[in-house]
Amino acid sequence: MNSIVIAINLIKRMLKEINIFGFIFFLPILSAVLAVVMFGNTEKVAVGIANSQSVEYYLVEYLKDSGKYDIRFLEEEQIEEKVKDKDIEIGVIFQKEFSSNSKDKIKIVSLNNDENVQVLRGEIEGYLAALMSGKEMIEYEKTTLKSEEYEKGRASIGLLSMFILMFAGSSIGFLLQDKREKNFMRLFSTPVKEYEVVLAHIMANFLLGILQVSLFLIVSTFIFKISWGISPLWVFVILAAYLITSVGFSVGLVGVVDDSEKYNLILTLIAIVTSILGGGFFPTDSLNVVIRKISSFMPQKWMVDSYTKLANGGGISSIQINLLVLILFGVVFFTFGIKTLKPEEKDL
């Protein structure tokens, strides 16, 4: 009961702080906005297809599953008219019979020979070239999450991971403030047990962190229409596991830094550096071997990897180790810093 009362008071105090209020209600929205801005508009390109029955069935399915195209089936004589009227952006006319000559495969009709046209042409010709060479194309059915959508989702949770760590650190920073203002010692002069104070801080930070994650998912999914490729519920589970790590890390950091200004500076630097090295901003595959090994010690690496596995069709069993590692990160950090929740002689 004491833990609940203390946690409620902590939450009230936190929400009065501008920086914590911003971490909870503003920065989650900023994460989604930046991801959308970084990876552009996801509006589908209207594509009319004629003579689709003459090509491998999976080609059309492949284009649909890419998530980039609004496929419409038309008659060959309708294509040019629809393009001129701007009912469709690109028209694709398949030849009724293919030959080994690539120029006989398709005819592209468009008012502009822009990037969309070039990308679509490349995808179709690449697919048909593989088909003509005898390669099995069924493997393209339900392929991995569209690169652009995956990058947008990864960037969103990557940015949020940095803000989650900053939020947890700022809220746990109240411990330093309480020690400096002697509130910490006064609290222990009341009939409360040590574990009740510990539990109160965990409850307050975790509940506000869950609010931060929930707001992020609502805004990014329903307002900015970010397509995760997996259920938003699983995104929530991944971020909740990372939240445990962040709270534990913040407690651990308070255990070694007892100056508020130094604490905030170190927290910010660690949040940025670990997010970079852990793949929060860009995939770690682009880094050298040594940095990739170092990234394995970053919680963000395990969080992003969880999302990647699920987005590429994995099940819950594929991320069990990742979630366990994130929780263990939090437990280890918290155990290391638990001494900060005990009153010392200097706190008198």
Looking at the fold, whether 103 and 194 belong to one and the same domain comes out as no
pLDDT digit string (tens) for 50-96?
A: 876 655 546 777 777 766 788 888 888 888 888 988 889 998 887 77
Q: Are residues 168 and 293 in the same domain?
A: yes
In a shared domain, residues 159 and 252: yes
Contacts of residue 23, Cβ cutoff 8 Å, sequence gap at least 6: 163, 166, 167, 170, 212
pLDDT of residue 3: 80
Report the distance separating Cα 1 and Cα 191, nearest Å. Answer: 12
Same domain, 232 and 310: yes
Give tens-digit pLDDT for 129-174. 766 665 544 444 444 445 667 778 888 888 899 999 988 888 777 7
User: Residue 145: what pLDDT?
Assistant: 45
Residues 59 and 29 in one domain: no
Mean pLDDT within 213-242 = 89
In this prediction, residue 147 carries a pLDDT of 60
Q: Do 50 and 133 belong together in one domain? A: yes
Chain centroid to CA 27: how far?
14
Of 140, 159, 174, the residue that ends a domain is 140
In 3D, which of 312, 174, 322, 177 has the Cα closest to residue 244? 322
Average pLDDT of span 244-248: 90
> 310 and 335 share a domain?
yes
Domain that residue 121 falls in: 45-140
Pair (165, 204) in one structural domain = yes
E strands, the chain, in order: 45-50, 69-73, 90-94, 106-110
Which residues have CB under 8 Å from 321's CB, separation 6+?
none
Verify that 83 and 153 share a domain, yes or no: no
How many H helices and E strands in the chain?
15, 4
Q: Which of 97-101, 177-181, 188-192, 292-296 has the highest mean pLDDT?
A: 292-296
pLDDT at 319 over 90: yes
As a whole number of Å, the CA-based R_g of the chain is 26
pTM of the model: 0.70
Number of domain units in the chain: 2
CATH code: domain of residue 127: 3.40.190.10
pLDDT at 320: 93
Are 238 and 327 within 8 A, CB to CB? Answer: no
Return the minimum-mean-pLDDT range out of 31-35, 60-64, 266-270, 289-293.
60-64
Mean pLDDT, the chain, rounded, equals 79
pLDDT at 137 (0 to 100): 46
The confidence score (pLDDT) of residue 169 equals: 82
Final residue before a domain boundary, out of 121, 140, 159: 140
Spatial CA neighbour of 26 closest among 242, 212, 302: 212
Q: How confident is the model at residue 216 (pLDDT cuts 50, 70, 90)?
A: very high
Residues 180 and 298 in one domain: yes
- Within this chain, do residues 227 and 325 fall inside the same structural domain, yes or no? yes
Residues 170 and 302 reside in one and the same domain: yes
Domain boundary, last residue among 120, 140, 160: 140
